[in-house]
Amino acid sequence: MSKQDSSTPQQPDMAERKRQLEELDKRLKERAAAIDHKILILSGKGGVGKSTVAANLAWALALRDLHTGLLDADLHGPTIPLMMGLRGQTPAGTPNAICPVSLNERLAVMSISFLLQEPDTPIIWRGPLRGNTIRQFIADVEWGALDYLVVDLPPGTGDEPLTVAQSFPDADGAIVVTTPQEASLSDCRKAINFVQAVKLPVLGVIENMSGFICPYCGKETDIFGQGGGEQMAEQMEVPFLGRIPLVPEVVNLGDEGQCLLDASVPAPVREAFESVVVALLEAS
């Protein structure tokens, strides 16, 4: 795998394709066996802060001295490199694999964005090619031995989430991210049903943007409603992992590729992420 454009490559004949897929499956299983815990992050709709949760969950695990990989499986909207401060990086390669980009000695990242000539190049691929690319990110990336692999999935319940779920049948499970309003909760229910349909555990629901905290007076305003995520989780009989409030620092630090667990981050956000991580570690 190398820097590429978004055009569709030439397809090999069927016999050769079958052989390649069999070899890919073998490599995929070998890579997966070296990863102790696999956690999928998904949402029913876009714009709910799923990638923010995935990025900072990976950071939090690495800060606990756990060897962590972060796989950006959102091929059409790969924002993880931006949020990790890694835009413009190029992965190193070996004759048999590609190496993820290391943020530090305990955290490595892989994204389609690293392989594009220009960061704004659109990916114009049909479902099978997207699925095969995700499988290659697992099988052909030299993750090494990991305590955790966090997978940031695209919104919805399409090819990429299905491919990852089928690639990791022994995954710890999935975290579903929502915002409090019904427009998000309705799609979140579909995401929960998807996880259950592919026979993976639902580790829990996170309600993001649960309330806006004014940076001047500290007052919290429920812009998108109150408590919808927790109520929905209770109705669907899945764990509720916590609420993350909306503060300007979340946006600014995300765009700057900074962690939301730093001491300079407002306590409500930092403590919310910490409580989510604690709940997750207890569940997995």
Q: Which amino acid is at 59?
A: W
Report d(CA 263, CA 259) in Å as an integer.
10
Residue 112's nearest CA partner among 97, 96, 90, 128 is 90
Residues contacting residue 180 through CB under 8 Å, at least 6 positions apart:
207, 209, 210, 222, 224, 225, 226, 227, 228, 229
Give residue-wise pLDDT tens across range 185-195: 999 999 999 99
Residue 49 pLDDT greater than 60, yes or no: yes
pTM (whole model) above 0.85:
yes
SS3 call for 21: helix
CA distance 247 to 224: 14
Residue 175 gets which letter from DSSP? Answer: E
* Burial class, 223, CB count within 10 angstroms (exposed 0-12 / middle 13-18 / buried 19+): middle
Q: For residue 282, what pLDDT is reported? A: 82
Greatest distance between any 2 Cα atoms in the chain: 67
CATH of domain 14-283: 3.40.50.300
CA dist 187 and 184 (Å) reads 5
- Reported as a pLDDT band with limits 50, 70 and 90, residue 4 is low
End-to-end C-alpha distance for the chain, whole angstroms = 32
Interatomic CA distance for residues 2 and 242, integer angstroms: 39
pLDDT tens for each residue of 156-215? 998 899 999 999 999 999 999 999 988 899 999 999 999 999 999 999 999 998 888 877
> What was the pLDDT predicted at 206?
94
Q: What pLDDT was estimated at residue 103?
A: 95
Residue 264, amino acid: S
Please provide residue 253's backbone torsions phi and psi, each rounded to the nearest 5 degrees. Answer: -70, -35
Of 62-66, 98-102, 203-207, 257-261, give the lowest mean pLDDT range: 257-261
Residue 55: per-residue pLDDT: 96
DSSP state, 9? P
Domain range summary for the chain, segments of one domain joined by +: 14-283
Tell me the CA distances in angstroms from 106 to 33, 103, 176, one per residue in order. Answer: 19, 8, 25
